[in-house]
A and B are shown apart, each in its own frame.
Chain A
Amino acid sequence: MARYVLRRLLLAVPVVVGIMLITFLIKAVIPTDAVTAQFQGQMSEADAAQAIAALRAKYHLDLPWYRQFVLYVESLLHGDLGESIRLRRPVSSEIGFRYLNTLMLTGAALSIALVVGMGTGILAAVRRNSWLDVTATTVGLFGTSMPAFFFGLLLILVVSVWLRWLPVVPRGPAAIVLPALALGLIEAAPLSRVTRTAMIDVLRRDYIRAARARGTGEIALVLRHALPNALLVVLTVIGLQIGNLLGGAFIVETIFSWHGIGELAVEAIGWRDFALTQAVILVSAGTYLAVNLVADILYAWVDPRVELAA
């Protein structure tokens, strides 16, 4: 097991370098650099040119790209994500609490997706073709085809405007409810479908019949015998879904004014704040990578056959 984890970690190293290279290169493909953008049209040509040159030198924008990259990686390794040109303070100080907010939101959304998605998936598989199964499938179909932002607006309309259960812009802990529901329920739909399919497949295996034949009760059969096997399939999907949650957070956070990484990303791009944009992308990609790594390791932990193959 330890060897397997180590191997997966080593395999992740080139991916991390790749991510850093890509975030670094984003700068190169955007026509104006941050400094130029900041001063355009604000002072006389000559003054501007001078100020620009000074600042370009300060941010090493005058060096060739590969030297810039080395400097970039070096500073990253020191935990220095650069300085936000717009906010005029270190990016890391801003990104820290934003990241926590996003983790809270995606964590809440994931819990909702897991409970609702796996719960309905298991029930639908056990009570196949019952009204519950049909309802879950139909609702799930809507969920799968509905964009998160639309669902978010729908939630605001129904919960805040019509039912008046929550203010349109809620404060305090209540603020997390709607965005978490919007993200979580949307992701619950595919999770429910995958869980249902996996459970149906497992429930007709010989070992389930054999367990039933030795007197195992139906609940133990579903939860202790079938579910661990179905989890093997579901886990790989959950890994991908956390990626979806992070992606969905960009939009949902903006709609619900949730001050997370996603909202920050949209703002940073609007401000042409490159250091901030880079950092946001870096952190998101790193999280995505970490999530998949954890999913892989969990998978190996659940499935005793993986270790031999590795």
Chain B
Amino acid sequence: MSSTLRADPVTTASDGPASGEQLLAVRGLRTSFKTSRGELKAVDGVDLDVAAGEVLCLVGESGSGKSVLALSLLRLIEPPGSILGGEVRFEGRDVGAMPRRALRRLRGRDIGIVFQQPQGCLNPVRRIGWQVAEPLMRDGLGRAKAWDAAVELLRAVGLPAPADKASAYPHQLSGGQAQRVMIAVALALRPRLLIADEPTTALDVTVQAQILDLLRERCRAIGAAMILVTHDLGVVAKLADRVAVMYAGRIVEQGPVADLFAAPRHPYTRGLLRAAPRLGEIGERLTDIPGGIPDLARMPPGCAFAPRCDTRRALGLDRCLDEAPPVFAAGPAGRARCWALAGDAA
């Protein structure tokens, strides 16, 4: 019965928990890569919460650890990387303690993921339909039924001529079409959470907005929450319920989108927003704040943003260079890692 429900993507009844309920809780997550230059701390103590049905946008410069964080949530890190510590709970279950089987069920069935390069994510020698049907068959659907369901899923993501395209091979699709297929695959088993890691970065500008609309529409339809990794502050303003800003392996600020845009507390967030003045226009990119991300294999002891921070200079905060800032309350519902907020918290 549940299989037939899953196979019908057009059913919009949300069978998920009520919106607002805690779905994902991440505490102190750390992921490192062993490199020739030493240990590279790509994710360095991340705390993150996602409520059922909400859209959380994860923003930050390239190389700040967003993709590694996304992969770590599903324990998809491979050598030379490893998850060194912290806790990921999904609906209260500890992902790190899950045996293999449970982890496989978590992947796909509870959490779907869409990557940046859709064409590279499709197996070149397998038909599209097979790739969409595979999770359904694993879920117990017969071959023919799974294929029909796959065609329906492809129709639901707006792929033209879905029945024909199901028998096509990946090289016969455009980038936008490939990403539609990947979205269909990721949502085939109606997961509670979709992770979308820069899903439009590799696509033609003309289709970017369509794909983002599709993501939001499909997530709403099945009642899934979404972690959307993006460079684009226009997208954040349009889609996000909450925002998390990542810098050098840490979440430096997170909070409701309206609060964060109206009154950013962390100097890095302020810099990002200053660099993108016309919010609401899709296509606005994070422009560089002077300087760059520090070398993640050679992190300084204090705040990672210190070398680029004008607030530190303005306020003459010396401890920034010696001690990493802890998390402070930032505004009514936000949090930020910055010594300048120490007064607020006290």
Binding site for B on A (CB under 8 A): 205-207, 209-217, 225, 228-229, 232, 302-305, 308
Contacts and interface: CB of A to CB of B under 8 A. Distances in A.
A214 B135 contact: yes
B171 A207 contact: no
Contacts of B138: 215-216
Given A205-B120, A228-B126, A232-B125, A212 B115 contact: no
Given A213-B76, A214-B185, A305 B120 contact: no
A89 to B, nearest CB: 50
B169 interface: yes
7 contacts: A206-B120, A207-B120, A209-B76, A215-B109, A225-B126, A228-B126, A229-B124
B124 A210 contact: no
Interface residues of B, number: 29
Contacts of B109: 215
A212 B108 CA distance: 9
B112 interface: yes
B186 interface: yes
Contact of A215 (B108, B121, B122, B169): B108
Contacts of A215: 104-109, 135, 138
A253 to B, nearest CB: 38
A304 B125 CA distance: 6
Given A213-B108, A217-B104, A225 B123 contact: yes
Contacts of B169: 304-305
A188 B106 CA distance: 40
B74 A213 contact: yes
Contacts of B185: 210, 214
A213 B112 CA distance: 8
B120 A302 contact: no
Nearest to A225: B123
A304 B124 contact: yes
Contact of B125 (A214, A228, A308): A228
A207 B135 contact: no
A127 to B, nearest CB: 13
B264 to A, nearest CB: 33
Contacts of B105: 215
Given A304-B169, A305-B124, A216 B134 contact: yes
Contacts of A303: 124-125
> 7 tightest CB-CB pairs across the interface, nearest first?
A215-B108, A206-B120, A210-B121, A214-B108, A304-B169, A215-B107, A215-B104
B108 A229 contact: no
Nearest to A229: B125
Contact of B124 (A207, A217, A308): A207
Contacts of A207: 120-124
